[in-house]
Amino acid sequence: MAEAEEASLNIRSADLLFTPIPERIARLRDLAYNLWWTWHPEAQDLYRHIDADLWEEDYHNPVDFLRDVRQRKLEEAAANPEYLAEYDRVMAAFDRYMAAEDTWYRRTFGNANDVTIAYFSAEFGLHESLPIYSGGLGVLAGDHVKEASDLGLPFVAVGFIYPQGYFRQRLDQSGWQEAIYSKLNFADIAATQALTADGREVVVEVDLPGRTIYAKVYRIQVGRVSLFLMDTDIHPNSPQDRELSARLYGGDQEMRIAQEIVLGIGGVRALRQLGIHPTVWHMNEGHSAFLVLELVREKVAQGMPFDEAWREVRAQSVFTTHTPVPAGNDAFPLHLMEKYFNHFWPHLGLTREQFFDVALQQQSWGPTFAMTVLALKGSHAHNGVSKLHGHVARGMWHWLYPNVPQDEVPITSVTNGIHSSTWLAPAMRRLYDEALGPDWEEDLDNVALWAKVRDIPDERLWEVRQALKGDLVAIARERVRQRHLRLGSPPQVWPVLEPEIFTIGFARRFATYKRATLLFREPERLKALLNRRDRPVQIIFAGKAHPADDPGKLFIQQVYQMSQQPGFLGRILFLEEYDMALARALVQGVDVWLNTPRRPYEASGTSGQKAALNGVVNVSVLDGWWPEAYNGANGWAVGEAREYSSQDEQDWNDAQHLYRILEQEVIPTYYDRGSDGIPHRWLAISKESIATIAPVFSTRRMVKEYVTRLYLPVAEMQA
Ligand SMILES: *Cc1c(COP(=O)(O)O)cnc(C)c1O
């Protein structure tokens, strides 16, 4: 059965759940089942324009929306000529996209080569209504998949569906983070059952100690790319195994190893059942590295000796490492590996010792089986995610390549980027349509084209920037109102944010190395900075700490408590529940994006790229992607690009420098107005930032690099 037919059959079986849709606009349902709408605001408007309140209530989820919407509203839309014109335009664009033959991949490489790339990731950040991501890694994976679709890559993605997703965040009265898990109903999201060629549902089996575990496979369509997600919350798994896929990064090490076995080994088996035979296997971070073992097992089962099988699998595999933070590199104690793999290694033709040797890493607490080591040894091409991170990773993993100088350790780098359409505010898009021409997106990574941004009239850019800040202020006020209602506290008497005030945004996961509280080192100095009559400042914080990370939660509490102190109240605001929706509002609405990681722990970072695309100016430590982007005129660099012997010294130096540039440069520049009230010097920096960052730090450039530098060379090794 053709894939499209199969999908629509699946959708139709869910028909009973939906409000009957008038025939004239019936394709709203097809549209809902392809996440193409997540990066086409005009497609989202088709739902919003039917019932804007419901669209918000259903958290921008069209599947949910189509179930909840009143039939009368649908009928009104179907009788409204303006709506129908809009509907026809969007559907035509959608059809053109899905049918396009002249994609970048086809144009560049033809379709003669039968390359298929399989991309494995433990999380995918595609939209706020699909909570199967925790932070930057997931959002990057989601952006990668969207771009793979845009460029027309032969590409499938594999991951895990978490019925409880990642947690939703609430702060109690003291500012302590509480995690709320709620059950995700699969009927509410744009997932359908994955089916085999002959129409059977796909269920994979994986052996765990003393039992077999089953995972059912769902499919989510992301433009032209299929994303397959495994779910273990099915009969006949034991309650404990059904919990396995319940939460992203929940549970203990046993749950984690079991999840990673299902992801890596089960993921390969899922693709086999689907009749998909990748020629390139891309592990996005080490969580999926067990796939290497499964691919080797398949070959050994066909009679190939282990060494040869290993060489062949290695030659098809690509691995991206994402963090120099030790906790981000999974490593399992050997007794756990013994428990979970003693039935597996005989199938590889290995002894226990030989098996452990495949990924052995000595750590302070003893020998472990390390996923990063497995992935590095089991892949031909490997990369870090910025030039600086590549350098750091070569140092970190030098011990695996003792015979080469550190600079020649074979870990290259592909600097992260963002999927521009996902993160660009519609109002900014209209400016770019005018300045760059209507087809600028086709040519998104053309640096020369973006020079035209400098021609945008200051008053136009200023007007849009202020409007976006107004949108953010409205969202923040609503969130604060909701919080006060929830806590039963009196409505706030202070104004929550003012659109005329210079606004700094700081939002990211609250891992301690990101140093959210760096600005609090000298509270009096900060208070003075926030409250100058002639140039006041407000700071918005948001971000979740990992549920097991108490130091991270303490940082959140410190920010929250500071925000309640006299002198800070109304000037510092912590917003709960940082997710892709809040991220969009923040990176589009603030004036400055602040980034203060302890160098060199931020492998790349991408939120600052989202901000820059929208005309927000970066003030950032020279870590991750920023040293590649910063040119002295497109934002500010905090601290020095050097190493420190003590963290205290580093923190002190960076904080001093940050205060100084805020006080003497950033804030005065923002408040330096022309006779027309417009900050022309500020807008020059904003334009310089857009022009230099938008074309380079996008997934357009990034995925093209993955194709030409990693995927195709690996594919050609097998030819
Ligand atoms: C972009 C994004 C991130 C990554 O932010 P960094 O500052 O690069 O760590 C994390 N969470 C969400 C919700 C995002 O949208």
pLDDT digits (tens, 9 = 90+) for 158-197: 999 988 888 899 999 999 999 998 888 888 889 999 999 9
Atom of ligand 1 nearest to the CA of 609: 8
Q: 661 has which bridge partners?
A: none
Structure-token pair, residue 509? 């996961």
Q: How many angstroms does the Cα of residue 509 sit away from the middle of ligand 1?
A: 7
Summarize the confidence of residues 199-214 as an average pLDDT: 95
Answer whether 597 contacts ligand 1 (Cβ < 6 A).
no
The residue whose CB lies within 8 Å of the most ligand 1 atoms, and thus the one to mutate among 128, 169, 508, is 508
pLDDT score for 494: 63
At a CB cut-off of 8 Å and minimum separation 6, what does 92 contact?
none
pLDDT score for 5: 47
Summarize the confidence of residues 331-346 as an average pLDDT: 97
Helix (H) or strand (E) holding 169: strand 168-171
Torsion of CA 642, 645, 651, 654, to 10 degrees: -20
Cα 624 to the center of its chain, rounded Å:
16
Among candidate residues 676, 648, 541, the one with its CA nearest the CA of residue 595: 541
pLDDT in tens, 296-327: 999 999 999 999 999 999 999 999 999 988 87
Residue 8 pLDDT more than 70? Answer: no
State the Cα–Cα distance between residues 326 and 324, nearest whole angstrom.
Answer: 6
Q: Whose CA is nearest to atom 7 of ligand 1?
A: 607
Q: How many angstroms does the Cα of residue 240 sit away from the middle of ligand 1?
A: 32
Residue 142 pLDDT more than 80? Answer: yes
Answer whether 389 contacts ligand 1 (Cβ < 6 A).
no
Answer whether 419 contacts ligand 1 (Cβ < 6 A).
no
The residue whose CB lies within 8 Å of the most ligand 1 atoms, and thus the one to mutate among 515, 579, 594, 607, is 607
Q: Whose CA is nearest to atom 3 of ligand 1?
A: 136
pLDDT score for 496: 86
Question: What DSSP string describes 637-685?
Answer: EES-SS--S-HHHHHHHHHHHHHHHIIIIIHHHHH---TTS--HHHHHH
Summarize the confidence of residues 472-496 as an average pLDDT: 85
For 541, phi then psi, to 5°, come to -110, 150
pLDDT in tens, 270-292: 999 999 999 999 999 999 999 99
Residue 390 pLDDT more than 50? Answer: yes
Answer whether 596 contacts ligand 1 (Cβ < 6 A).
no
Answer whether 508 contacts ligand 1 (Cβ < 6 A).
yes
Q: How far apart are the first and last CA of the chain?
A: 30
346-368 burial, b at 16+ Cβ within 10 Å, e below that, comes to eebbbeeeebbebbbbeeeeeeb
Q: How many angstroms does the Cα of residue 7 sit away from the middle of ligand 1?
A: 32
Q: What mean pLDDT is reported for the chain?
A: 94
pLDDT-based confidence at 2, cuts 50/70/90?
Answer: very low
Summarize the confidence of residues 647-653 as an average pLDDT: 95
Q: How many angstroms does the Cα of residue 312 sit away from the middle of ligand 1?
A: 36
Answer whether 139 contacts ligand 1 (Cβ < 6 A).
yes
Q: Whose CA is nearest to atom 4 of ligand 1?
A: 136
Summarize the confidence of residues 425-446 as an average pLDDT: 96
Answer whether 505 contacts ligand 1 (Cβ < 6 A).
no
Burial class (CB within 10 angstroms; exposed 0-12, middle 13-18, buried 19+) of 213 = buried
Polymer length of the chain: 719
Summarize the confidence of residues 368-392 as an average pLDDT: 97
Query: 290-293 long-range contacts, Cβ below 8 Å, gap at least 24?
Result: 290/260, 290/261, 290/263, 290/264, 290/265, 290/374, 291/120, 291/263, 291/264, 291/265, 291/267, 292/264, 292/317, 292/374, 292/375, 292/378, 292/379, 293/264, 293/265, 293/344, 293/348, 293/358, 293/374, 293/378
For 593, phi then psi, to 5°, come to -105, 120
Answer whether 314 contacts ligand 1 (Cβ < 6 A).
no
pLDDT score for 15: 53
Q: How many angstroms does the Cα of residue 508 sit away from the middle of ligand 1?
A: 5
Count H helices, E strands: the chain?
33, 21
Using alpha carbons only, give the angle 30, 36, 41 rounded to the nearest 5 degrees: 105
pLDDT score for 718: 81
State the Cα–Cα distance between residues 43 and 100, nearest whole angstrom.
Answer: 18
pLDDT-based confidence at 453, cuts 50/70/90?
Answer: very high
Answer whether 607 contacts ligand 1 (Cβ < 6 A).
yes
pLDDT score for 112: 62
Structure-token pair, residue 216? 């059912």
State the Cα–Cα distance between residues 501 and 533, nearest whole angstrom.
Answer: 11
52-91 burial, b at 16+ Cβ within 10 Å, e below that, comes to eebbeebebbbbbbbebbeeeebeebbeeeebeebbeebb
For 417, phi then psi, to 5°, come to -145, 180
Q: Whose CA is nearest to atom 11 of ligand 1?
A: 135
At a CB cut-off of 8 Å and minimum separation 6, what does 303 contact?
none
State the Cα–Cα distance between residues 120 and 157, nearest whole angstrom.
Answer: 6
Summarize the confidence of residues 353-359 as an average pLDDT: 97
Answer whether 287 contacts ligand 1 (Cβ < 6 A).
no
Answer whether 615 contacts ligand 1 (Cβ < 6 A).
no
Structure-token pair, residue 11? 């959708």
Residue predicted with more confidence, 663 or 3: 663
Q: What is the largest CA-CA distance in the chain?
A: 80
pLDDT-based confidence at 246, cuts 50/70/90?
Answer: confident
Q: Whose CA is nearest to atom 2 of ligand 1?
A: 136
State the Cα–Cα distance between residues 89 and 74, nearest whole angstrom.
Answer: 18
Residue 37 pLDDT more than 90? Answer: yes
Sign for the CA dihedral angle at 453, 454, 458, 462 comes to positive
Helix axes 334-341, 253-261, angle to 10 degrees: 40
Determine contact, residues 224/3, Cβ cutoff 8 Å. no
pLDDT score for 12: 47
Q: How many angstroms does the Cα of residue 583 sit away from the middle of ligand 1?
A: 7
Q: How many angstroms does the Cα of residue 309 sit away from the middle of ligand 1?
A: 38
Reduce the secondary structure of 609-640 to three states and give it as a string.
HHHHHCCCEEEEECCCCHHHHCCCCCEEEECC
State the Cα–Cα distance between residues 180 and 158, nearest whole angstrom.
Answer: 26
pLDDT in tens, 109-141: 987 678 999 999 999 999 999 999 999 999 999
State the Cα–Cα distance between residues 116 and 281, nearest whole angstrom.
Answer: 9
Q: How many angstroms does the Cα of residue 139 sit away from the middle of ligand 1?
A: 7
Determine contact, residues 134/203, Cβ cutoff 8 Å. no
Determine contact, residues 160/174, Cβ cutoff 8 Å. no
Count CA atoms closer than 13 A to 326's CA, side-chain side.
6
Residue 76 pLDDT more than 60? Answer: yes
Summarize the confidence of residues 663-685 as an average pLDDT: 98
